[in-house]
Amino acid sequence: MAIQLGDIAPDFTQESTEGPINFHDWIGDSWCVLFSHPADYTPVCTTELGAAASLKGDFEKRHVKIIGLSVDPLSDHEAWSKDIEETQGTALNFPLLADADRRVSDLYGMIHPQADNTLTVRSVFIIDPKKKIRLTLTYPASTGRNFEEIMRVIDSLQLTDQHKLATPVNWTQGQDCIIVPAVSNEEAEKLFPAGFTEIKPYLRTTPQPSH
């Protein structure tokens, strides 16, 4: 069965550009973004890995470790990473799993045979410090992902874990949030001293609490 939200992320040990990784130990008490790309030496993947590397500092600020994967051998990852640095202006600064034996791809359902029988699709898993799956995304090989969107989801998850809030369409840091329906108006007054706006009884907004 496909991995679902709330599942514990399957653990594994696999080779990477930063040595063998035991996944749960490597995550430690951080958040994690695990993402697959179809293949080394391919154009879209080259741009994605460069973009992800350039966002490392933003991920670290949020206590997030990132880790990529494809079914290529370690020797290819190492040689290709020089191209990423040369063409994207940022060296690879996070591990890439070398999943040539498909151990992790199979565990996470990253190969979709009707799309491609051998290569991984562009999967994304956001995993929290308790190792729970908090987001899954699947993109086709032809579409590079938007890592700012992945960051946006992390911001939302970390905010809504702390407060009885949800975030509306296209929300980004600093914008108004939605008070979850389980909170009464009386409780909302106590929880959100900045006040709230009742647009409908089920649609109430409040400024984002400071974080």
Per DSSP, helices labelled H in 55-102 are 56-61, 74-88
The whole-angstrom separation of Cα 68 and Cα 14 is 12
Shortest Å, Cβ 74 to ligand BEZ: 19
- Number of chain positions touching ligand BEZ (CB under 6 A): 8
Piece in contact with ligand BEZ (CB under 6 A), picked from 2-10, 38-46, 82-90, 123-131: 38-46
Q: Are strands 133-139 and 165-166 parallel, antiparallel or unpaired?
A: unpaired
Shortest Å, Cβ 141 to ligand BEZ: 4
Contact between 117 and ligand BEZ (CB under 6 A)?
A: no
User: Please, which residue, 42 or 90, has the CB nearer to ligand BEZ?
Assistant: 42
Contact between 69 and ligand BEZ (CB under 6 A)?
A: no
Near ligand BEZ by CB under 6 A: residue from 20, 43, 57, 193: 43
Shortest Å, Cβ 70 to ligand BEZ: 9
Question: For the chain, what is the total number of helices (H) and then of strands (E)?
Answer: 7, 11
Say how many C-beta atoms besides its own lie within 10 A of residue 19's C-beta: 9
Q: What's the helix, strand, coil split of the chain in %, to 5?
A: 30, 25, 45
Say whether 45 is catalytic: yes
Phi, psi of 188 (to 5 degrees): -60, -35
Contact between 51 and ligand BEZ (CB under 6 A)?
A: no
Catalytic residue among 27, 32, 34, 45: 45
Shortest Å, Cβ 88 to ligand BEZ: 13
**Is-contact 117 141, C-beta < 8 A?**
no
Element (H, E) at 109: none
Near ligand BEZ by CB under 6 A: residue from 39, 107, 135, 166: 39
Near ligand BEZ by CB under 6 A: residue from 9, 32, 45, 84: 45
Element (H, E) at 27: helix 23-27
Residues that bind ligand BEZ in the complex, under the rule CB under 6 A? 38-39, 42-45, 141-142
Task: Please list the active-site residues.
Answer: 45
